[in-house]
Amino acid sequence: MLYHSTRGGAAGKTFEDVLLAGLAPDGGLYLPQNWPALEADAWRALQNRPWEEVAVAVMAPYMGDFLSADELAGLIREAAETFGHPAVTPLVQLGGNLWMLELFHGPTLAFKDVAMQILARLMDIALARRDQHVTIIGATSGDTGSAAIEAFRHSRRADIFILHPHGRVSDVQRRQMTTVDAPNVHNIAIEGDFDHCQALVKAMFNDAPFRARMRLAGVNSINWGRILAQIVYYATSALALGAPDRAVSYTVPTGNFGDILAGYAGRRMGLPIEQLVIATNINDILHRALSTGRYEVTGVSPTTSPSMDIQVSSNFERLLFDAAGRDAQMIKRLMDSLAQSGAFTIPEEVLQAIRGLFDSGRATEDEVVEEIARTHEECGLLVDPHTAVGLHVARQKAGAEAAMVSLATAHPAKFPDAVEKATGKRPPLPQRLAHIMEDTEHLSVLPASLDKVEAFIASRASA
């Protein structure tokens, strides 16, 4: 299986290449040159099989000879064991045709753990083979940073530096990062806001000598390894609901389009996915794009679902490319237009192709509060604001035939204030995380200065 870039500037790359590269050199994103489909009988044989076995069947066809099936199975078992639920990603029926897929039982209580735990282990293997070390840098307003730190804390090949805005992330989110005591984990609290953190990370990647000297790497949601790992829970849930013999639809709380793109990949692999519904909060570039055909950047408004507060949705480029019959020239044109004028119009035939499978909806902040209260009243369940965005949209889109599965992307205890406001109940941290409120924190406070941050990283990294 080989990979090529959505912008035509790279092709013939192996799984190991794209895993370590993240972004393609032409600024595009990598996709496999074709989708490896499984026959209906192969899917049937996976019904009622353990999560790990489904994961191997789904992921192996993308990896060429990167790992043997046994090695891959061992790696996935290790990743799955970091989850606090025997089913890893359990499916819960909310009523009638509506289901919730709980993706938040990982070590940091958000769905990003699923992919990050697998990605870190894959990267260690690839780096060991090349006898390389990397320096992972990232900015976080909460979720991504802690998932990455948890995943890479045992890495022998990566140092990880996560920048967060000093005093501006919640206690729980900060402590999830800063209580990790490992020599390769470094928390930097920047005197500034999240935009400062992001700008610093971007500036470091753009500083070519620093980037090369430190062997900088990113683990954000454009890495193909993350998307690949996320296909697994679409497969496990569809199989549990009767795939390949019964259709199923999904509603996905969406930001960067990584999670829902994995659903698209699942469909291309032969899962009977009838509809994929994009759920956005008021930062609704994707909902507007699907409704009007115009993909247009506006400002970002902070919401109670911060992991979906995005200006552009990077992985949407992968869907556009596939829906456009893999016309890299077209994608390059659209992305140039986005860079120059902050917008592009999706060509009509591409829009029609996308609408054949995708639908979209949005939830306002008031609707999120109502949804959290409603799910609590009707089902006795506490859900976080990201999950509530999905449920609000899922209720509108659920049809009579196919089961509708709404993805629960964060544990309610990660967003206790919003949940308490809507229900009067404060969700407690799961027992296995309670220790973080007591443990010693490790962090360095630095000014929002590129020189100071680069000097700090250079003095601590081993790459």
Ligand X SMILES: *Cc1c(COP(=O)(O)O)cnc(C)c1O
Give the binding range for ligand X (CB under 6 A) out of 35-43, 124-132, 256-264, 437-445: 256-264
- Residue 416 CB, shortest distance to ligand X, in Å, is 14
278 touches ligand X by CB under 6 A:
no
221 touches ligand X by CB under 6 A:
yes
User: By CB under 6 A, how many residues form the interface with ligand X?
Assistant: 16
d(CA 371, CA 391): 7
- Residue 213 CB, shortest distance to ligand X, in Å, is 30
d(CA 152, CA 117): 8
275 touches ligand X by CB under 6 A:
no
- Residue 410 CB, shortest distance to ligand X, in Å, is 4
107 touches ligand X by CB under 6 A:
no
- Residue 193 CB, shortest distance to ligand X, in Å, is 19
Residue of 108, 256, 280, 360 that binds ligand X (CB under 6 A): 256
Give the binding range for ligand X (CB under 6 A) out of 255-263, 325-333, 336-344, 425-433: 255-263
Report 285-324 residues binding ligand X (CB under 6 A). 307-308
- Residue 459 CB, shortest distance to ligand X, in Å, is 31
Give the binding range for ligand X (CB under 6 A) out of 15-23, 31-39, 253-261, 422-430: 253-261
String marking each residue 51-90 x if it binds ligand X according to CB under 6 A: ----------------------------------------
112 touches ligand X by CB under 6 A:
yes
Measured in whole angstroms, how far is the alpha carbon of residue 182 from the centre of its chain? 24
- Residue 379 CB, shortest distance to ligand X, in Å, is 19
What's the CA dihedral at 372, 374, 375, 376 to 10 degrees? Answer: 80
Q: Take residue 338 and report the two structure tokens written for it.
A: 């986005």
Q: Which of 112, 397, 421, 452 is catalytic?
A: 112
- Residue 315 CB, shortest distance to ligand X, in Å, is 7
Give the binding range for ligand X (CB under 6 A) out of 40-48, 161-169, 252-260, 439-447: 252-260
Q: Which is nearer to ligand X, 18 or 388 (CB)?
A: 388
Report 362-401 residues binding ligand X (CB under 6 A). 386
Give the binding range for ligand X (CB under 6 A) out of 43-51, 119-127, 130-138, 249-257: 249-257
257 touches ligand X by CB under 6 A:
yes
- Residue 381 CB, shortest distance to ligand X, in Å, is 16
Report 129-168 residues binding ligand X (CB under 6 A). 143
Give the binding range for ligand X (CB under 6 A) out of 87-95, 118-126, 153-161, 257-265: 257-265
Partner residues linked to 191 by β-bridges: 447
Catalytic site includes residue 112: yes
Residue of 76, 100, 110, 461 that binds ligand X (CB under 6 A): 110
Residue of 258, 266, 270, 361 that binds ligand X (CB under 6 A): 258
Three-state SS string across the chain, please? CCEEECCCCCCCECHHHHHHHCCCCCCCCEEECCCCCCCHHHHHCCCCCCHHHHHHHHHHHHCCCCCCHHHHHHHHHHHHCCCCCCCCCCEEEEECCEEEEECCCCCCCECHHHHHHHHHHHHHHHHHHCCCCEEEEEECCCHHHHHHHHHHCCCCCEEEEEEEECCCCCHHHHHHHHCCCCCCEEEEEEECCHHHHHHHHHHHHHCHHHHHHHCEECCCCCCHHHHHHHHHHHHHHHHHCCCCCCCEEEEEECCCCHHHHHHHHHHHCCCCEEEEEEEECCCCHHHHHHHHCEEECCCCCCCCCHHHCCCCCCCHHHHHHHHCCCCHHHHHHHHHHHHHHCEEECCHHHHHHHHCCEEEEECCHHHHHHHHHHHHHHHCCCCCHHHHHHHHHHHHHCCCCCEEEEEECECHHHCHHHHHHHHCCCCCCCHHHHHHHCCCCCCEEEECCHHHHHHHHHHHCCC
8 Å CB contact between 247 and 301: no
406 touches ligand X by CB under 6 A:
no
Nearest alpha carbon to residue 194 among 146, 148, 136, 142: 142
- Residue 119 CB, shortest distance to ligand X, in Å, is 13
337 Cβ neighbours under 8 A, 6+ residues apart = 343, 344
Q: Which is nearer to ligand X, 192 or 263 (CB)?
A: 263
Q: Which is nearer to ligand X, 249 or 256 (CB)?
A: 256
Residue of 409, 436, 446, 448 that binds ligand X (CB under 6 A): 409
Which residues are part of the catalytic machinery? 112
Q: For binding to ligand X (CB under 6 A), which residues are involved?
A: 110, 112, 143, 221, 253-259, 307-308, 386, 409-410
